[in-house]
Structure 1
């Protein structure tokens, strides 16, 4: 699977996109992405 971080050009937000072959993998990628964006990945 993959994950993409995209900063908004008009809002103070970062959008996170993920794709994988199974829904559980997408959920795991999204959780890791949110933790990374918040600075709590570890």
Structure 2
């Protein structure tokens, strides 16, 4: 499984900049879909 680390970081920065800018942070979850990476070792 591959996690979208670049998108996770971008979402975190957007949220942080909003908080610093005075926006109210809504409690909750943000779910980003992983992708399946098939490799030779997967058999």
Please give the range of the TM-score, normalised by the shorter of the 2 chains.
0.3 to 0.5
Higher strand proportion: 1
What TM-score comes out, normalization by structure 2 length?
0.44
Higher helix proportion: 2
What TM-score comes out, normalization by structure 1 length?
0.45
Higher RCO, 1 or 2 (CA under 8 Å, sep at least 6)?
2
